């Protein structure tokens, strides 16, 4: 076994700056305090000076302590890192699990010739191991040392230009993209593309509405118009804004998916699209974790489907709405095209033909009596306490509608399993199907409340590298059987998940 | 009409039994180290006492007297919070006692929950890295928390608290030496 090694004292800089970065990132919470006590701060510059001095010395002391407690060593089969001042952490990372060794040099390390060694595992991105502050030569040695112990996978990414060897699996025409924009909300793509100009647009819009003689406060004032007039204005406004949103969503869809092709080269799937910036997403078949059939209610009506190929979500961090550009998604295809694509990646799947089992009806009772009813009773009590008893009637439609939605949710829930795949169905007004191979499961969870236990029901969660999949309210016998089968498949096949 | 002979039996068989797949729910779960619930209990009692003491001080202090409405009702608040804290202490004790773990040849399971029971099972094959985490109180009483990370992400980290340091280290070594970890990359 190797001796414990400390990193170079230059790591003090690393800890100092990463703590400083943390503070600066969180300083936004201090803004209201500074804002409200601005006068006091101005009158007491000494206090400000003292506060900054205290913060700095705290940063220096903690950097020193962090440096002092940071040690690492190489064992026969794993690398070990000790860190933490108050909460001590002792990390063991087996060489077989290291996917990649990266040398990262922060700006303040470069003049001194130091670097951080980041050890990537295929799994979580947040919890990767990092050895801070090694000399570049030493870091390269370590990298070699680690890589000889690992079985590095080849990093030959496919060429970015289409070659003749590629087989085109799917292409989307402009018509499909318009359909996609109408049925799916892609307005965020459009908004993101316009973000730099957003302020000007809003200003222009309000000037425009005033110039054509629309005054909203006037329009919706009950003193001037009868209630039915206001109602019809509101309806009109709703329809118009819905139309605008839809139009922008169509633009968003075209921006993201213009010239869409999905092609295949051996085991590699390549997605290319984009109007302004050309996006290319590459996926190797073994990395595929989950195939999703996604249909919103409009999709159900016009019989179109979005297909999603989900990979490990560890290295994807995107703002909401933007992630679809970095995933392999095929927008608004027909069900037969969906079946062709899923059969192409997983030929033995039976999604199209397998029969789904429903979940227990107690799902409905539980959500109505434990969530919706108490909520309505609480609001009702509040209304009565404030003597607005005439408003009580409004609670009836909301109760009925939310109960109906729960029933719709129950109706959509379903699951099926064959010797290789698990299939889930869920949704509300739309419907989604999730298909994944049993052997890609990372972890299983069995959950049961005391009430469910009495009814012989339980909930199971199957964790994949692309996220967790839940099947609620199924019989305990069945849940046990499925979990046992999943663990058996994973542990006996010894297949890799990627 | 012939009567069936006593040896004859044709009961329906469970497909899992037929395949002889091991059943995760039939494992014997080992409780955590007793010092774990004792320390937790002590900490919960201490924190509760501090909270109640702070409220009592607010009630009786004379530096900045409360306005009439809070002054008239603060004893109710203290009573309500005390009841909450007492039930939290009791419930915390029960939930600590309900925690346990079980190890099979190829996976590890952690059971927890009183009203909401949960069993998490982590196959060794899917292990990415392991951490031992020790807070200041855990170090005082020689306890450790074992964390097993898989590709399922940080939210689904398999976490097992309340092991003695030696137990945790042995368990970790067992997993790191496991052939599913050393041979199947």
Cβ of B149 within 8 Å of Cβ of A487? The answer is: no
Cβ of A447 within 8 Å of Cβ of B135? The answer is: no
Contact A192, A320 (CB under 8 A): no
Q: The domain A5-149: what is its CATH number?
A: 2.30.29
| φ and ψ of B111, to 5 deg | -110, 140
- Tell me the chain A residues in contact with residue B158 when contact means C-beta distances shorter than 8 Å: 443
The pLDDT tens digits for B126-143 are 998 999 999 999 999 999
Domain boundary among B60, B78, B95: B95
Average pLDDT value for residue range B67-73: 80
Tell me: do B159 and B111 sit in the same domain.
yes
Tokens of B21: 């797949």
Q: How many CA atoms lie within 13 A of B12 on its CB side?
A: 2
If DSSP codes are grouped into helix, strand and coil, which group holds residue A279? strand
Chain A: nearest CA to B146, how far in angstroms?
Answer: 10
Nearest CA in chain B to A440: B126
Facing residue for B139 by CB, picked from A88, A127, A498: A88
Q: Which pLDDT score, from 0 to 100, does residue B47 have?
A: 95
Nearest CA in chain A to B131: A91
Q: Which pLDDT score, from 0 to 100, does residue A235 have?
A: 87
Check the CA dihedral A447-A452-A453-A458 and report its sign.
Answer: negative
Q: Which pLDDT score, from 0 to 100, does residue A319 have?
A: 46
Q: Which pLDDT score, from 0 to 100, does residue A263 have?
A: 92
Q: How many CA atoms lie within 13 A of A325 on its CB side?
A: 26
Cβ of B151 within 8 Å of Cβ of A465? The answer is: yes
Domain boundary among B79, B95, B111: B95
Tell me: do B90 and B128 sit in the same domain.
no
Asked if residue B119 belongs to a domain, the reply is yes
- Tell me the chain B residues in contact with residue A76 when contact means C-beta distances shorter than 8 Å: none
Q: Tell which wins on pLDDT, A252 or B163.
A: B163
Q: Which pLDDT score, from 0 to 100, does residue A161 have?
A: 55
Nearest CA in chain A to B156: A463
Q: Which pLDDT score, from 0 to 100, does residue A320 have?
A: 45
Asked if residue B175 belongs to a domain, the reply is yes
Facing residue for B106 by CB, picked from A96, A124, A491: A491
Q: Which pLDDT score, from 0 to 100, does residue A144 have?
A: 84
Nearest CA in chain B to A444: B121
Residue B95: pLDDT band (50, 70, 90) is very high
The pLDDT tens digits for A137-151 are 888 888 888 777 665
Chain B: nearest CA to A429, how far in angstroms?
Answer: 29
Tell me: do B173 and B104 sit in the same domain.
yes
State how far the Cα of A308 lies from the Cα of A179, in Å rounded to an integer: 17
Asked if residue B9 belongs to a domain, the reply is no
Check the CA dihedral A369-A370-A375-A381 and report its sign.
Answer: positive
How many Cβ atoms sit within 10 Å of the Cβ of residue B19?
A: 10
Average pLDDT value for residue range B100-119: 95
Cβ of B119 within 8 Å of Cβ of A446? The answer is: yes
Asked if residue B133 belongs to a domain, the reply is yes
- Residue from A74, A95, A123, A470 whose CB has the most chain B CBs within 10 Å, to mutate: A123
State how far the Cα of A109 lies from the Cα of A101, in Å rounded to an integer: 18
pLDDT in tens, chain A (498 residues): 678 989 888 899 999 998 988 888 887 777 777 777 777 777 777 888 898 899 899 999 999 999 999 999 988 888 899 999 999 999 998 888 887 788 888 888 888 888 888 888 776 555 578 888 888 888 888 888 877 766 555 444 444 555 567 888 999 999 999 999 888 878 777 776 665 555 666 667 666 666 665 666 666 666 666 777 778 888 888 888 888 888 888 988 898 889 999 999 888 898 988 887 788 888 889 989 999 999 998 899 999 999 999 988 655 554 444 556 667 889 999 999 999 999 999 999 999 999 999 999 999 999 999 999 999 999 888 888 887 777 788 888 999 999 999 999 999 999 999 989 999 999 999 999 999 999 999 999 999 999 999 999 999 999 999 889 999 999 999 999 999 999 999 999 889 888
Cβ of A124 within 8 Å of Cβ of B154? The answer is: yes
Tell me: do B139 and B166 sit in the same domain.
yes
- Tell me the chain B residues in contact with residue A445 when contact means C-beta distances shorter than 8 Å: 118-121
Contact A278, A291 (CB under 8 A): no
Structural domain count of chain B: 2
Domain encompassing residue B69:
35-95
State how far the Cα of B148 lies from the Cα of B135, in Å rounded to an integer: 17
Cβ of A484 within 8 Å of Cβ of B16? The answer is: yes
Tell me: do B56 and B116 sit in the same domain.
no
Asked if residue B5 belongs to a domain, the reply is no
Contact A457, A439 (CB under 8 A): no
Cβ of A442 within 8 Å of Cβ of B134? The answer is: no
ipTM above 0.90, yes or no: no
Asked if residue B112 belongs to a domain, the reply is yes
Domain ranges of chain A: 5-149, 164-345, 362-409
- Tell me the chain B residues in contact with residue A123 when contact means C-beta distances shorter than 8 Å: 128-129, 149-153
Asked if residue B110 belongs to a domain, the reply is yes
Tell me: do B103 and B91 sit in the same domain.
no
Q: Which pLDDT score, from 0 to 100, does residue A222 have?
A: 62
Question: What's the burial of B151, exposed, middle or buried (CB within 10 Å: 0-12/13-18/19+)?
Answer: buried
Cβ of A442 within 8 Å of Cβ of B133? The answer is: no
- Tell me the chain A residues in contact with residue B123 when contact means C-beta distances shorter than 8 Å: 443, 487, 490-491
Q: Which long-range contacts (CB under 8 A, 24 or more apart) does B105-113 make?
A: B106/A487, B106/A491, B106/B180, B107/A487, B107/A491, B107/B24, B108/B148, B108/B158, B108/B160, B108/B171, B108/B175, B109/B24, B109/B27, B109/B29, B110/B158, B110/B159, B110/B160, B111/B29
- Tell me the chain A residues in contact with residue B185 when contact means C-beta distances shorter than 8 Å: 96-97, 150-151, 496
Q: Which pLDDT score, from 0 to 100, does residue A158 have?
A: 47
Q: Which pLDDT score, from 0 to 100, does residue B67 have?
A: 78
Count of A–B CB contacts within 8 Å? Answer: 178
Tell me: do B104 and B75 sit in the same domain.
no
The pLDDT tens digits for B5-49 are 666 666 655 555 556 788 888 899 999 999 999 999 999 999 999
Tell me: do B168 and B107 sit in the same domain.
yes
Closest by CA position to A484, among listed B109, B24, B91, B65: B24
Asked if residue B40 belongs to a domain, the reply is yes
Domain boundary among B95, B121, B147: B95
Tokens of A454: 């009495």
- Tell me the chain A residues in contact with residue B152 when contact means C-beta distances shorter than 8 Å: 123, 442-443, 463-465, 468
Nearest CA in chain A to B182: A96
Tell me: do B82 and B116 sit in the same domain.
no
How many Cβ atoms sit within 10 Å of the Cβ of residue B88?
A: 13
Facing residue for B181 by CB, picked from A94, A453, A487: A94
What CATH number is associated with residue B174?
2.30.29.30
Put residue A271 in one of left, alpha, beta given phi > 0 → left and psi -120 to 50 → alpha: beta
Nearest CA in chain A to B113: A449
């Amino acid at each position: 076994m190797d001796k414990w090694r400390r990193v170079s004292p230059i790591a003090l800089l690393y800890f100092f700056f990463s703590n400083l970065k943390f503070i600066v990132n969180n300083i936004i919470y201090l803004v209201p305090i500074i804002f409200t006590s601005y006068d006091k701060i101005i009158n007491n510059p000494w206090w400000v000076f003292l506060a900054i001095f205290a913060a700095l010395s705290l940063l220096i002391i903690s950097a020193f302590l962090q440096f002092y407690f940071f040690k690492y060593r190489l064992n026969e089969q794993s690398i070990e890192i000790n860190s933490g001042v108050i909460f001590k952490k002792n990390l063991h990372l087996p060489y077989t699990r290291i996917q990649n060794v990266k040398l990262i040099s922060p700006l303040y390390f470069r003049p001194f010739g130091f670097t951080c060694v980041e050890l990537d595992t295929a799994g979580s991105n947040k919890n990767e191991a990092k050895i801070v502050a090694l000399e570049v030569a030493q870091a390269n040695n370590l990298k070699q040392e680690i890589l000889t112990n690992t079985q590095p996978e080849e990093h030959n990414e496919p060429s970015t230009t289409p070659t003749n060897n590629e087989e085109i699996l799917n292409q989307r025409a402009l018509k499909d993209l318009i359909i996609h924009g109408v049925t799916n909300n892609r307005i965020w793509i459009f908004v993101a593309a316009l973000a730099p100009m957003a302020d000007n647009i809003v200003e222009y819009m309000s000037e425009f509405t005033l110039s054509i003689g629309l005054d909203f406060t006037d329009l919706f004032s009950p003193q001037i118009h009868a209630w039915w007039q206001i109602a019809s204005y509101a309806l009109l406004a709703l329809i118009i804004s819905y139309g605008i949103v839809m139009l922008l969503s169509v633009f968003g869809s075209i921006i993201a998916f213009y010239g869409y092709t999905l092609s295949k080269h051996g085991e590699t799937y390549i997605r290319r699209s984009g109007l302004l910036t050309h996006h290319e997403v590459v996926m190797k078949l073994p990395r595929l974790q989950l195939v999703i059939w996604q249909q919103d209610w409009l999709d159900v009506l016009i019989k179109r489907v979005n297909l999603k190929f989900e990979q490990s979500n560890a290295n994807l961090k995107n703002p909401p709405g933007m992630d679809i550009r970095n995933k392999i998604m095929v927008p608004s295809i027909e069900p037969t095209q969906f079946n062709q694509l899923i059969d192409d990646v997983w030929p033995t799947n039976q999604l199209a033909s397998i029969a789904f089992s429903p979940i227990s009806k107690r799902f409905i009772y539980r959500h109505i009596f434990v969530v919706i009813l108490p909520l309505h009773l609480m609001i009702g009590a509040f209304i009565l306490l404030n003597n607005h008893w005439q408003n009580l009637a409004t609670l009836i439609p909301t109760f009925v509608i939310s109960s109906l939605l729960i029933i719709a949710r129950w109706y959509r829930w379903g699951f099926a399993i064959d010797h290789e795949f698990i299939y889930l169905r869920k949704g509300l007004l739309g419907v989604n199907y999730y298909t994944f191979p049993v052997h890609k499961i990372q972890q299983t969870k069995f959950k049961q409340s005391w009430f469910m236990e009495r009814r012989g029901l339980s909930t199971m969660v199957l964790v994949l590298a692309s996220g967790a999949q839940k099947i609620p309210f199924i019989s305990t016998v069945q849940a046990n059987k499925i979990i046992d089968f999943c663990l058996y498949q994973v542990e006996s096949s010894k297949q890799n998940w990627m | 009409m012939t009567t069936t002979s006593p040896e004859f039996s044709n009961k329906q068989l469970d497909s899992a039994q037929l395949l002889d797949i091991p059943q995760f729910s039939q494992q014997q779960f080992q409780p955590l180290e007793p010092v774990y619930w004792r320390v937790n209990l002590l900490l919960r009692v201490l924190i509760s006492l501090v909270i109640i003491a702070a409220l009592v001080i607010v009630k009786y202090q004379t530096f900045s007297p409360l306005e009439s409405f809070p002054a008239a009702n603060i004893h109710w608040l203290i009573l309500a919070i005390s009841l909450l804290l007492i039930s939290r202490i009791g419930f915390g004790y029960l939930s600590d006692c309900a925690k346990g773990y079980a190890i099979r040849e190829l996976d590890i399971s952690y059971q927890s929950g009183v009203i909401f029971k949960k069993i998490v099972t982590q196959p060794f094959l899917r292990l990415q890295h392991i951490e031992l985490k020790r807070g200041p109180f855990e170090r005082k009483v020689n306890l450790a928390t074992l964390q097993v990370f898989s590709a399922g992400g940080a939210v689904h980290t398999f976490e097992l608290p309340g092991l003695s340091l030696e137990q945790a280290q042995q368990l970790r070594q067992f997993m790191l030496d496991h052939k599913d970890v050393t041979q199947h990359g």
